[in-house]
Amino acid sequence: MPVSPAREVESAEARAAAEGGAEKRAYVRRIFSEIAPSYDLLNHLLSLNIDKRWRRRALEALAWTRAPEGVYVDLCAGTLDVSAELVRRPGFAGRVLGADFAEPMLRAGREKSPAARVSPVVADALELPLADGTADGAIVAFGIRNVTDLDACLREVRRVLVPGARFVILEFTTPRSALVRGGYHLYFHHLLPLIGGLVSGHRTAYKYLPQSVAHFPDERALARRMEDAGFRDVGWRSLSFGIAAIHWGHR
């Protein structure tokens, strides 16, 4: 079946955004605003609910118990799943700033947590509305590959952290095992876009997802860039046969 010109244009936009073109910021903001109503459903459906476990592991890596009454940043917060999970943790008595530049995403998640504990704010990850050295920790789950300038984002996060604070990144990656990678590519590049498109009604948003992962640095490269941005004691841990990874570093 021939592909319509409109669909060809949309696919080209997704490819260009995944490659980090000048259009990336506007494209990412638009598609995540458009899929906000079905975002949570598809996250859990497409990951078979494994994404919930991954987020819990990332919050453990954040080591928030060192400053349980502190201020934490949930970067590229989306529908505030991480923010909500953090404030529900027994012993956590702090506040979370959930920053995302797609307002419909924040609006879709605003009922997940008490307003007194989570403060959603429409903000770009490259220009956080915080003074230097004011956050006790920061975390980003499945969002940092969407920023237009990864290195500038890493430097911006480091800027807002207090000395010794930890930054945690949870992100998709490409499995190193050839066997796992084969099944991963089949699902991620073919089945996921099909299911995501049918459920969300958005034809290209879930094509952008695997393309953006393919253009994102692998674990070693990301660790080096965190170090180049000034983070120390950088490390990472693979999850679920290398489908995702948790990175961490200290201010």
Sign of CA dihedral 134, 139, 143, 148: positive
Q: Per-residue pLDDT for 6 more than 50?
A: no
- How many Å apart are CA 15 and CA 197, to the nearest integer? 16
| Helices within the chain (DSSP H only) | 5-18, 24-34, 36-46, 50-62, 81-87, 103-108, 150-160, 178-186, 192-200, 205-214, 219-228
Tally Cβ neighbours within 10 Å of residue 213: 20
User: Which residues share a beta bridge with 172?
Assistant: 244
Q: What's the mean pLDDT when you consider all of the chain? A: 91
Q: What's the pLDDT tens digit per position in 103-153?
A: 999 999 999 998 899 999 999 999 999 999 999 999 999 999 999 999 999
Q: Whose CA is closest to 225, among 175, 157, 130, 133?
A: 157
Helices 192-200 and 36-46: angle between axes, nearest 10 degrees:
150
Residue 139 sits in a domain whose CATH number is: 3.40.50.150
pLDDT band at residue 43 using 50, 70 and 90 as cut-offs: confident
Task: Report d(CA 80, CA 94) in Å as an integer.
Answer: 16
Confidence of residue 243 (pLDDT cuts 50, 70, 90): very high
pLDDT tens, residue by residue, 151-189? 999 999 999 999 999 999 999 998 888 888 898 888 888
Assign 7 a pLDDT band (cuts: 50, 70, 90).
low
Residue 16 has pLDDT above 90, yes or no: no
Binned at pLDDT 50, 70 and 90, residue 1 comes out as: very low
Domain count, the chain: 1
- Nearest residue to 226 (alpha-carbon basis) of 163, 124, 151, 143: 151
Q: Which tokens in the block code for residue 65? A: 């118990």
249: DSSP letter: E
CA distance linking residue 97 with residue 110, whole number of Å: 12
**pLDDT over threshold 50, residue 2:** no
Element (H, E) at 199: helix 192-200
- Strands (DSSP E) found in the chain: 71-75, 95-100, 118-122, 135-141, 161-172, 232-239, 244-250
Q: Which residue has the tokens 């947590």?
A: 113
Q: Which band of pLDDT confidence, cut at 50, 70 and 90, is reported for residue 10?
A: low
Note down the domain range covering 136: 5-250
